[in-house]
Amino acid sequence: MLTLIKRIWKPIILTLIFAIAAVAFLQAGMIGLATPWKFFQAMYYALSLFFLGGVDIGAPAAPSQWLNVTLWICYFLAPLLTFSFIFVIIQEKLLSNLLPWVKNHTIICGAGRNGILIYQLLKEHAKRGKVVIIEKNKDNAYGDLLEKDPATLWIRKSFLDMPVLQKARLNRAKQIYLSTNMSLVNLNALINVLEILGTEAQTRVYCHIDDVNLHANMSATLLKEKKFSHVSFFNGYQSVTKRLYENWIVEKGYLSPATIFIIFGVGKFGRMLLAHIVNDPRRTMEDEVIILTRCTNDTLDQLNYMLEKQLPRRCTIHQLMNADMDNPKSWDLIASRLSGKDKRTLCFLCRDDDLANLNLAITMKRGAPKKLREAIYICRMYSEMAHELDDILERRITETQAADIILFPLQRELKEAFRAELFPGGRAASASARPDSPNSGTPLPEHSGADNAST
């Protein structure tokens, strides 16, 4: 609804002012023609306000004060609306054609989560640096941010179109980021970019590939060719889940010689986290991995193949559970696999739904079987809602229970992961996003170690 209002509010105001002005002219006695021609003259007067500002009409001379006030308002608002429309046309049509001498700018293809975080990092390093965003979605959630910066140009077209890439002056750009979470789309765009740049180009190109196997294959084959010598592949989820595992779990001492890892949801985030766990040389067969997710049969087959054929066997990996993770019956099935095992249990809630992750952690802390109530819960949270979420924790569970729920600030950590991976020689973070930092959103609480009984 808000998007619709944002699109049509200017035409509505324009039509409203035109109608009010026409009626006011009729009532003010400023029309000299007889019926029916006076209606056309009133519409002409109202229309001329938008282009001539009433120069050919003269000042309002109505018999009543309210008519004069109404007409004066229309005299000022009508030309202002005209100027605003002209400005939008200039901004969207003329300025989108970059001047031939623009150079050393940065191009970001895609203005989603990754693209905006990269954009923010670029502005931290060079606030006045010229940035070109290619994003076809005119209703992009970050549109207001992009439009406010005079050094940022937003091309509202698809970066898969060759003419659009050429318009962005790729050959004169300093660096290009293909940032979407769709690996094949980024690779398709990469081929077009390299075709425009040619073999002798010096422009650095960064391509986001979030498929681990595809990432490895591309790095082992394409990057060895000369035309790919200035191309770098990066993986946001792989970097941020490594930060989660190393900085938030290993360094804080949450692992014991034998640990049970329970992963709720194995999308991209969950799979990357699983890969870090099973590839850790410190893990042994005493460590166990339990995965609970809800997926289609095709996805289930892919996951089973990954677990059986592609992952190393450093840990004991239980058979994947395809069930509703919010259903208490699923918790009973997990608890049956934990029965009789005196091992620390870590539950990772990896769904792309902040409130669902938090609600599941709170509900299980209050009503799950005892072994799951004693577990530590790590919630994947993208939104910056630290204070609001702390309030939720305080109202719904005890302080002891809340101490075992860790809110992992994905957005902030992903930004720091990009900073380390894409800007290794750049300015250091102004505030570390490590869990023991006072500026890291929700700090990592110490594990209580108590038996958290249901309240």
Q: What is the pLDDT of residues 386-410, one digit of tens each?
A: 556 666 766 777 888 888 999 999 9
187: Cβ contacts below 8 Å, ≥ 6 apart: 207, 209, 218
CA separation for the pair 402, 412 (Å, rounded):
22
What domains are there in the chain, each with its CATH number? Answer: 2-94 (no CATH), 106-234 (3.40.50.720), 238-422 (3.40.50.720)
Q: What dihedral do alpha carbons 437, 440, 442, 448 form, nearest 10°? A: -30
Which of 231-235, 307-311, 322-326 is the least confident region?
307-311
- Structure confidence by residue, pLDDT tens digits, 98-155: 556 678 899 999 999 999 999 999 999 888 889 999 999 988 888 888 888 888 888 8
How sure is the predictor about 36, in pLDDT bands with cuts at 50, 70 and 90?
confident
Which of 55-59, 233-237, 430-434 is the least confident region?
430-434
Q: What is the pLDDT of residue 143?
A: 86
- pLDDT of 32 > 80? The answer is no
**The amino acid at 312:** P
**The amino acid at 254:** Y
CA separation for the pair 331, 29 (Å, rounded):
79
Which of 33-42, 204-213, 314-323, 328-337 is the least confident region?
33-42
- pLDDT of 256 > 60? The answer is yes
How sure is the predictor about 52, in pLDDT bands with cuts at 50, 70 and 90?
confident
- Structure confidence by residue, pLDDT tens digits, 411-425: 999 999 999 999 876
pTM for this entry: 0.72
Percent of the chain with pLDDT over 70: 86
**How much is the average pLDDT of 348-366?**
93
- pLDDT of 342 > 70? The answer is yes
- Structure confidence by residue, pLDDT tens digits, 60-70: 777 778 888 88
Q: Two tokens at 202?
A: 């010096």
CA separation for the pair 136, 96 (Å, rounded):
13
Packed helices 65-89 and 37-51: angle between N→C axes, nearest 10 degrees? 50
Are 320 and 262 in contact, with CB atoms under 8 Å apart? no
How sure is the predictor about 223, in pLDDT bands with cuts at 50, 70 and 90?
confident
